[in-house]
Amino acid sequence: MFGRLAAYLDSIRARDPAPHSRMEVLTYPGVWALGWHRVAHRLYQRRAFFLARLVNHFARATTAIDIHPGAKIGRRFFIDHGFVVIGETAEIGDDVTIYQCVTLGGTSPDNGVAGKRHPTLMDGAIVGSGAQVLGPITVGTRARIGANAVVTRDVPAGAVMVGIPARATMIDGGQAPEKKFVPYGTPCSEMFDPQTQKVELMRCELESMRKRLDALVEERANERGEQRGDARDCA
């Protein structure tokens, strides 16, 4: 048991340059949140839903991290800082890293797998701070989600996703992500300037308005066609 704990703490030190010892890592809220989740998840599997929820609420109050007891989480999962929300049907593989203010949220399962409302993160995935990963989608092995990105579609293995809505982008002159861990998910560059993300958001709003306008024009055209047909029938 102590060997597994030591290996887990060492895996966090390999991903975070801040701590100077294993004891320091033990103070991290992400470590405690995962520990409490292990307890809550066992209770959930035994259908002790109320007790599982009590553990979940205690963990959320003390760590600012909300992991639903039903979520399935693999080995060496690391939440850097807090304010993270992980939904009931989320599935997380091994060696996944999530930064602060991330949501693994749910959507209506109408177009997805029955009962599956939240995303699946494969081994080695990295989700940058403020990102929103929504719906029963799959984030591929070693994929990276950039800060503040909004992901609503499947992400291929090794891809780097940025923007609103998120789209794949090449990094470092088009080279694929390195096999070693890269802190914070993506390298720093002007590509990730907040102003760029605001432009992307405005583009999404403009596209939505265009779709609404097209729908209104089509609806008006159909109404005029029906009126002409009625006039002909009366004649």
Residues 29-74 pLDDT 10s:
999 999 999 999 999 999 999 999 999 999 999 999 999 999 999 9
Output Rg (C-alpha) for the chain, integer angstroms. Answer: 22
Any idea which residue has 């405690």 for tokens?
A: 32
Looking at every residue in the chain, the average pLDDT score rounds to 83
pLDDT at 192: 46
Output phi, psi for 144, to 5 deg: -125, 135
Query: Residue 212 CA to chain centroid, in angstroms?
Result: 28
Distance, CA of 2 to CA of 22 (rounded, Å) = 12
pLDDT at 50: 96
Please, are residues 66 and 48 in contact by the beta-carbon 8 Å criterion?
A: no
Please, are residues 157 and 142 in contact by the beta-carbon 8 Å criterion?
A: yes
Mapped onto helix, strand or coil, the DSSP state of residue 203 is helix
Residues 124-180 pLDDT 10s:
999 999 999 999 999 999 999 988 999 999 999 988 998 888 888 755 434 444 555
* Range of weakest confidence among 11-20, 91-100, 106-115: 106-115
pLDDT at 142: 93
Instruction: Please give the residue that has the higher pLDDT: either 224 or 56.
Output: 56
Kindly tell me if the per-residue pLDDT of 196 is higher than 60: no
Distance, CA of 86 to CA of 172 (rounded, Å) = 31
- Whether the pTM exceeds 0.85: the reply is no
Mapped onto helix, strand or coil, the DSSP state of residue 61 is helix
pLDDT at 172: 43
* Range of weakest confidence among 11-15, 35-39, 72-76, 221-225: 221-225
Nearest to 49 by CA among 73, 66, 70: 70
